[in-house]
């Protein structure tokens, strides 16, 4: 059985590590730029908490990376002093962060030079699904690489029911960017509907019920509607992430010469959410911009304080 | 059993008439500004095709109005030469058009003066549901009026399972405006996601499947997604209607001092669809603005012709 290393053990990475450990895989090495996170999960799973990326590569055959953004993803493979590609010949990298398609393409090229293989494993699910092994997992890269690690990927994606091979390097990241672009539009749109309903003093429970029975229904109505009413914005997927992902999609649109006014408006709303200091809240926190009497305001009227809750378990 | 008159026998009104006839009600009178429509359905159901609105009122106890917009709705009750309120004492009007909340309030006041009653019966469903008697029906006005005609309304709303009493005059129209505002946002957003996917040459069937499994899922993905791919824009709910309803919602937002950038962007898109001559197509036709090589363009490159199909039965 392959030894697995995991780089980036935040909420997602740590739960993926736990899941793989649970189904019998050996997590031999973990790394995080925030050392205490690495130490904690290493102790929990009997792994080595590495201080260097090259050390993690040496201890693993299959390496999952679950980092935050383009810059973090690139530095894992390009940092001159220390990177994952030192001694990486024959190893496989599975990159699970939501990063730009071009970053995946660059990483694939760098890995190839180092005689290693690389695969995108874009996830369209959240923390709970990571732990349960029921992630919706979209993969891209060489088909042979996908087949080589399929056994492991299946354990993360409901025995493969939620596993999809999308195409060559960058393609899964494109699909992921589109998923999040549309999800963010639906979320920001829902926040407008409920916020206006609140301003009109409608019964918001009835309004939500009507939405759910009609053409206004959506997945985000089910996942975020109640939270918008209750101002429960504990974080599954942050407003800052939403802004980043809509930005990636708009970058693709620009290159493809597509004008997408709703995606643009959504990006502006999530940027505003970040600028107003709510970027760490869940994406449902976009409702702080649309409900009357909420959010940060520069007017003399004091707005209702925002109840910031801790992350959910 | 009450005699029923129906004003406005376009696709919706005609099917509601058929449904009520089918379950045993007597449709005694119909009226349409386009006389041939009235004549046809009158023959089909054994009703009188009225040439005057006051004639229709005289022949009916319960009068359903299913017209296109604010202006049409108001003229039924305000036209000096001929209107529905002549001899209307004791009769009930059920107004099913999607019009501005203020129009419903004004109609309710005019009806009261004429010693008649008026109820909003806002529908959040389409032609097929009208015929099947499974409309999602949101009512507002005096509760006593609602109770008086409940028996009839039930026959239109899956034996009352889809029947809701929302509140005083104007409130159902507000909810309806919000439903359509959110639905239109989700539709325009979906068109951006699929349009960009097409520009990136992604497999659109896989993209739709991924959307359906993730936070990008929505009712309009199920109802309009395939049609966007296939350019099948035969009309259930037209782009022109979508523009009108988003406009009503923005009017409410303005009064309530809510800034709704996505609703605005959506309204602009549907207005653009109308301006480009696609207003009669189904709302899914918004995809003509986002897919590469579609729609009307002023560039020298000839764009693909739009296959305009006839309305579905």
pLDDT at A303: 46
Higher-confidence residue: A307 or B190?
Answer: B190
What are chain B's domains? 3-169 (3.40.50.720), 174-289 (1.10.1040.10)
Coil/strand/helix, residue B85: coil
CB contact B160 to A (< 8 Å): no
pLDDT at A297: 43
| Residue among A125, A196, A219 whose CB faces B256 most closely | A196
Region A122-138: what's the mean pLDDT? 92
CB contact A244 to B (< 8 Å): no
CB contact A260 to B (< 8 Å): yes
- Is residue A223's pLDDT more than 50? yes
- Is residue A302's pLDDT more than 60? no
**Model confidence band, residue B295 (pLDDT cutoffs 50, 70, 90):** confident
Question: DSSP string spanning A89-145?
Answer: TT-EEEE-S---HHHHHHHHHHHHHTT-EEEEEEE-S-HHHHHHTB--EEEEE-HHH
**CA A243 to CA B110: how far, in whole Å?**
50
- Is residue B298's pLDDT more than 70? no
| Residue among A164, A174, A195 whose CB faces B258 most closely | A195
Residue B193 with chain A: CB contacts under 8 Å: 178-179, 181-182, 185
Q: Which tokens go with B271?
A: 């207005």
Question: Which residues on adjacent β-strands are paired with residue A139?
Answer: A121, A165
- Is residue A298's pLDDT more than 80? no
Q: Which tokens go with A143?
A: 């088909």
CB contact A189 to B (< 8 Å): yes
**CA A115 to CA B308: how far, in whole Å?**
54
pLDDT tens for residues B47-101?
999 999 999 999 999 999 999 889 999 999 999 999 999 999 999 999 999 889 9
pLDDT tens for residues B184-230?
999 999 999 999 999 999 999 999 999 999 999 999 999 999 999 99
pLDDT at A310: 35
pLDDT at A210: 94
pLDDT at B306: 53
CB contact B251 to A (< 8 Å): no
pLDDT at A296: 60
**CA B209 to CA A161: how far, in whole Å?**
13
CB contact A246 to B (< 8 Å): no
Residue A210 with chain B: CB contacts under 8 Å: 124, 136, 138, 164, 175, 179
- Is residue B302's pLDDT more than 70? no
Which among A300, A261, A250, A294 is positioned nearest to A276, based on CA atoms?
A294
- Is residue B21's pLDDT more than 60? yes
Q: Which tokens go with B308?
A: 């305009």
Does the distance separating the beta carbons of B192 and A216 come in below 8 Å?
no
pLDDT tens for residues B164-190?
999 999 999 999 999 999 999 999 999
**Residue linked to tokens 């979508």:** B242
pLDDT tens for residues A261-280?
999 999 999 999 999 999 99
B 201-220 near A (Cβ less than 8 A): 202-203, 206-207, 209-211, 213-220
What is the number of H-type helices and E-type strands within chain B?
Answer: 12, 8
- Measured CA distances, B216 to A237, A261, B24 (Å): 14, 17, 43
pLDDT tens for residues B99-143?
899 999 999 999 999 999 999 999 987 889 999 999 999 999 999
**Model confidence band, residue A133 (pLDDT cutoffs 50, 70, 90):** very high
Around A302, how many Cα atoms within 13 Å sit in the side-chain half-sphere?
Answer: 3
Does the distance separating the beta carbons of B252 and A210 come in below 8 Å?
no
Region B250-254: what's the mean pLDDT? 97
């Amino acid at each position: 059985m392959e030894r697995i290393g995991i780089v980036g053990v935040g909420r997602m990475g740590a739960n993926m590590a736990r899941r793989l450990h649970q189904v019998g895989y050996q997590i031999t090495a973990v790394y995080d730029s925030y050392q205490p996170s690495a130490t904690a999960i290493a102790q929990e799973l009997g792994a080595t908490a590495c201080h260097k990326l090259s050390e993690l590569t040496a201890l693993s055959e299959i390496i999952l990376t679950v980092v935050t953004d383009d810059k973090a993803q690139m530095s894992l493979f390009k940092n001159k002093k220390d990177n994952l590609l030192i001694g990486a010949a024959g190893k496989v990298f599975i990159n699970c962060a939501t990063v730009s398609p071009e970053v995946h393409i660059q990483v694939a090229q760098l890995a190839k030079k180092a005689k290693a293989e690389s695969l995108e494993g874009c996830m369209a699910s959240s923390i709970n699904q990571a732990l349960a092994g029921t992630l919706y997992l979209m993969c891209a890269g060489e088909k042979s690489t996908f087949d080589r690690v399929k056994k492991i990927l299946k354990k993360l994606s409901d025995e493969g029911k939620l596993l999809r091979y999308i195409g060559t390097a960058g393609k899964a990241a494109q699909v992921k960017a589109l998923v999040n672009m549309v999800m963010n539009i639906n979320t920001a749109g829902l926040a407008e509907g409920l916020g206006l309903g609140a301003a009109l003093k409608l019964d918001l429970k009835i309004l939500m019920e009507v939405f759910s029975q009609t053409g206004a229904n959506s997945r985000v109505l089910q996942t975020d509607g109640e939270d918008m009413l209750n101002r429960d914005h504990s974080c599954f997927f942050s407003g800052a992430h939403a802004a980043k992902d809509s930005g990636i999609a708009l970058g693709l649109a620009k290159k493809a010469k597509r004008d997408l006014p709703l995606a643009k408006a959504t990006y502006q709303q999530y940027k505003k959410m970040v600028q107003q200091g709510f970027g760490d809240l869940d994406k449902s926190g976009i409702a702080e911009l649309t409900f009357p009497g909420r959010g940060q305001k520069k007017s003399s009227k004091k707005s209702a304080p925002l109840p910031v809750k801790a992350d959910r378990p």
